[in-house]
Structure 1
Amino acid sequence: MVWVKLLALIFMAVVPYTTASPEINPRFHTILSLADLEYEDKYVVGLQNNLSPTDLKKHLLRVSAVQYRNKNTTFEGGTGVRKTYAIGDYRAYSAVLDRDTIKEIWNDTVEKPPWGLATLSNKKPHGFLYRYDKSAGEGTFAYVLDTGINTKHVDFEGRASMGFNPPETEPTDINGHGTHVAGIIGGKTFGVAKKTQLIGVKVFLDDEATTSTLLEGLEWAVNDIRSKSRQSRSVINLSLGGPYSEALNRAVNHISDIGILPVVAAGNEGIPATFFSPASADRVLTVGAINSDWQETNFSNFGPQVNILAPGQDILSAYISTSRATRVLSGTSMAAPHVAGLALYLMALEDFDSTKKLMDRILQLGKKDKVVNLMTDSPNLIVHNNVK
């Protein structure tokens, strides 16, 4: 019997989690109120205390750019940012903004997101925004083969559910790995595809599972997807791996052939991925890991079996101890869900009639020649969501 293991490498300190208003981002938009009833769309926006001049400038440029793009109404005196205010450490500005601009600023920009999210929409490391289309993966489905999902976590907004569960096990996540992965795929705060539906397929009881249990979970996921005609709207995330297995590779290749994309972690041994399954399968999307400086990590498996690189070191996401718990983890387990989330995000925006076309699109959008310290035969390609 072949054993398969989870591919999160490092457990870091717990980070306190607090929810923002569902409408106002906590970093910049701490206050938003009507300033003058004469103009329905005139606002005063209060900003975080001690905001640096650089962050303030970036935010105001962002607001002005969005307003210019959306401008479809004229106001006396024009639209956009009108005046900035500095009262001690307090910063604010007044602006005339149409409703589309307000909605876009609230809903489709994450100020100071986890660095992994920012990587997806920036052309250089250490970006400060995660920009994405407001569709955000709506109408798609992520099947997370893992330890389960803490479905009560507030970051999932009721979009997470448990599907397959082995007999005599709890239908929840008692490990944390699966919840963390699901948060990267589709959490409101931490996720790439913030409106996708998340289905937990529990194949681990602790940090190991047998190949037979994994195949049982894959069978359930495929049957559920096909019975509900979700092939063109679903992705299976596999943040797991073990020794080379012809049986497992054949299974995931078949899943790809019938129109369901498997996204697979490359593994954490720092050696060629060709020795591991399902990372070595031919028709899956295998993901290696980079750090926040866009260096390929020393733990990531590498080589020609790896298709693309994604954030995988010191990644913040949801966890299990409470409905608001978070934790920082590292591993190719964290890299794969960034790409799975992107696949779902693209499915909501574009039509794909095969997994090959979806994979080709993800690779086409990738940032080329940006990786530092690239390992032997790994692709110099970093995941990107095509937002300009």
Structure 2
Amino acid sequence: MLSLKYVFISCIASIPMLVKCALQIQTSTEKDFVTNKYLVILRPQVGLANHMNVLHRQMGDGRATYGILLHNFTIGNFNAYSGHFDSGFIEQLVTHGDIARIEADQIVGTNSVTQTDAPRGLNVISHRRFSSDYDYVYDNAAGRGTYAYVLDSGINTQHKEFEGRATSGYVAEGLQPGDVSGHGSHVAGIIGSKTYGVAKKTRLISVKVLDHTLGSSSTLLEGFEWAYRDIKDKRLQAKAVINISVAGGIPKSINEAIDEAFANGISTVVAAGNYAEDVEIEWSTTGAIIVAATDLYNNRARFSSYGSAVTLFAPGVKIQSCWRGGPDAVRTESGTSQAAGFVTGVVALLKSRLKLPGAMVTRGVVQGLATRGIVKDLRGSPNLFLYNGGGR
């Protein structure tokens, strides 16, 4: 899991009082932030090009110390930019009519719950009833012709389990290819590896946004934008799914980007979080498939977040999958990251088998196929458990 919290810049409305502006942390949990680096989100329908022209004019006439612009974001109607800006310039932006919100860029990192016993998961998503039968039954298309974009720490593309189907699609600036953490390889293995994977023929696209176990919210957004554009440019909406394992108070910008992707037909699966709290603290998106985790006995896993915003549950305890460090490396992990991997794999399976046309239909089919009434300790979550549609 990635962990992040977001902040708003608030300020007295009167321009002469700009010196009283301050960063206000919106949550009770302190997180680390990147010094003087911000995400600036524009109001709906504000043109990014026109806004940037205004900024350049301000920079040119000496009325503001601009700083360094790093990246422009355009995801549907979502427009934003990131950069290193000094406090004087930020003080001007907070009263600018084009600006919807300013978020301090944050440190993000992995947050899986590690356990060491043998895995379980594939069998239970292909059986309607709780069973000791460890057979995994699935449609023979096995996700062939689909693409899973994994926003994470990278993928060990040389692992034998991926059979050459895992490739590096995007590496954030300043990061090295590959997976030093292992987290991204583990999630990718659940999605589509030969032995541990749900969709054993899907293609896995690494979108590396973490260095070891850390990254920033702006880097995460850059990776999401790259995946969004790659899917749209190649017209893969009916064949692709994005997987994100993040938690800890998601910036609104990420939620808005996911919703824009949903409106453009692109499916995104996200982990509910490992904080045992209401998932709405983590996610405000209405477009994502939000996945909570169950334990070995179909209870909500003790660490899993919950609530009415959850889409469904999937296995998340003692899951074995691929790891970093070599072509045969494996490891057992637990977390809602792993649960999200199972759902992403099922999305790939269903897109391959049923030719699902877009994100809304895809989510509806995943919910419609889910097994009902078997999860315990829901805490307001829907009683839906992942089913792959091809089992018993």
Match of 1:156 among 145, 153, 162: 162
SS of 1:212's equivalent in the other structure is: helix
* Structure-2 change in CA distance of 1:361 and 1:4 (3 Å): farther
Question: Which position in structure 2 is the counterpart of 1:379?
Answer: 382
**1:347 paired to 2:351:** yes
Matched position secondary structure for 1:264: strand
- The two structures have a TM-score, normalised by structure 1, of 0.71
Decide which of 188, 200, 209 is 1:203's aligned counterpart. 209
The aligned residue for residue 90 of structure 1 is none
Q: Does the Cα contact within 8 Å between 2:237 and 2:358 map onto a contact in 1? A: no
Q: Deviations over 1:283-326 (max 9, x none)?
A: 11000000121111111000011110000111000001211000
Verify the 8 A CA contact 1:4 1:241 in the aligned structure 2. Answer: no
Q: Kindly indicate whether the alpha-carbon contact (under 8 Å) linking 1:179 and 1:318 is maintained by their aligned counterparts in 2.
A: yes
Flag the 1:347–1:357 CA change in 2: closer, same or farther, 3 A. same
C-alpha distance 342-8 of structure 1, shift in aligned 2 (>3 A): farther
Instruction: Give 1:315's aligned residue.
Output: 319
How far has the Cα of 1:10 moved from its partner?
2.2
Which residue of the partner structure matches residue 3 of structure 1? 106
Post-superposition CA distance 1:59-101 (Å, at most 9, x none): xxxxxxxxxxxxxxxxxxxxxxxxxxxxxxxxxxxxxxxxxxx
Q: Which runs of 5+ in 1 are unaligned?
A: 16-113
**Cα drift, residue 210 of structure 1:** 1.4
Change in CA separation of 1:6 and 1:124 when aligned onto 2, cut-off 3 Å: farther
CA contact (8 A) 1:2 1:243 kept: no
Corresponding residue of 1:65 = none
Would the aligned equivalents of 1:14 and 1:326 in 2 still touch at CA under 8 Å?
A: no
One-letter code aligned to 2:384? L
Rounded Cα–Cα distance in structure 1 between residues aligned with 2:120 and 2:377: 19
Q: Which residue of 218, 228, 236 corresponds with 1:230?
A: 236
DSSP 3-state at the match of 2:247: strand
Alignment of 1:223-262 (within 5 A): 223-262=229-268
Residues in 2 aligned to 1:215 and 1:356: alpha-carbon distance in whole angstroms: 22
SS at match of 1:231: coil
For 2:144 and 2:279, locate their aligned partners in 1 and report how far apart those are by CA, in whole Å: 33
Deviates more, 1:262-271 or 1:206-215: 206-215
**2:269 match: secondary structure:** strand
Rounded Cα–Cα distance in structure 1 between residues aligned with 2:286 and 2:107: 19
CA distance in 1, matches of 2:107, 2:190: 22
Aligned to 1:115: 120
Aligned length: 287
3-state SS, counterpart of residue 290 of structure 2? strand
State the distance in 1 between where 2:374 and 2:216 align: 37
Aligned-residue offset at 1:4: 6.0
- How much does 1:167 deviate? 2.4
Distance 2:238 2:261 in 1: 12
SS at match of 2:171: coil
Candidates 126, 129, 135, aligned match of 1:124: 129
4+ long deviations beyond 4 Å:
none
1:354 deviates by: 2.4
Quick check: 1:336 aligned with 2:340? yes
8 Å contact kept, 2:248–2:275: no
Query: Letter of the aligned partner of 2:204 in structure 1?
Result: L
Q: Is the 8 A contact 1:151 1:161 kept in 2?
A: yes
Deviation at 1:204, TM superposition (A): 0.6
| Preserved CA contact (<8 Å) 1:290 1:313 | yes
Q: Quick one: which amino acid aligns to residue 164 of structure 1?
A: Y
Q: Which residue of the partner structure matches residue 56 of structure 2?
A: none
Matched residue type, 2:163: E
Q: CA RMSD in A?
A: 1.5
Whole-Å Cα distance in 2 between the matches of residues 148 and 200 of structure 1?
A: 5
Contact 1:6–1:241 at 8 Å: present in 2 too? no
State the distance in 2 between where 1:326 and 1:14 align. 12
Q: Shift of the alpha carbon at 1:353? A: 2.3
CA contact (8 A) 1:7 1:267 kept: no
Distance 1:298 1:13 in 2: 17
Per-residue deviation, 1:358: 0.8
- Contact 2:252–2:284 at 8 Å: present in 1 too? no
CA–CA distance in 2 between the matches of 1:165 and 1:192? 25
Q: Tell me the CA shift for residue 201 of structure 1.
A: 0.2
- Give distance in 1, aligned partners of 2:126 and 2:233: 35
Give the match for residue 96 of structure 1.
Answer: none
The answer on whether the counterparts of 1:8 and 1:177 sit within 8 Å (CA) in structure 2 is: no
Q: Which residue is 2:30 aligned to?
A: none
Change (3 A) 1:14 1:324: farther
Offset at residue 11 of structure 1 (A): 2.6
Residue pair 2:350, 2:356 contacting (<8 A) in 1 also: no
Do the aligned partners of residues 312 and 255 (structure 1) sit closer, same or farther apart at CA in structure 2, a change above 3 Å counting?
A: same
Q: Is the 8 A contact 2:237 2:357 kept in 1?
A: no
Q: Name the structure 2 match of 1:288.
A: 292
- Paired residue type of 1:180: H
Q: Which residue of 2 aligns with 1:272?
A: 278
**CA deviation profile, 1:92-140 (whole Å, cap 9, x unmatched):** xxxxxxxxxxxxxxxxxxxxxx421001111223332100011000000
- Structure 2 length-normalised TM: 0.71
After TM superposition, give the deviation of residue 8 of structure 1 in Å. Answer: 4.3
For the Cα contact (< 8 Å) 1:121–1:384, is it kept in 2? yes
Q: CA deviation at 1:227?
A: 1.7
> Are the counterparts in 2 of residues 8 and 332 from structure 1 also a CA contact under 8 Å?
no
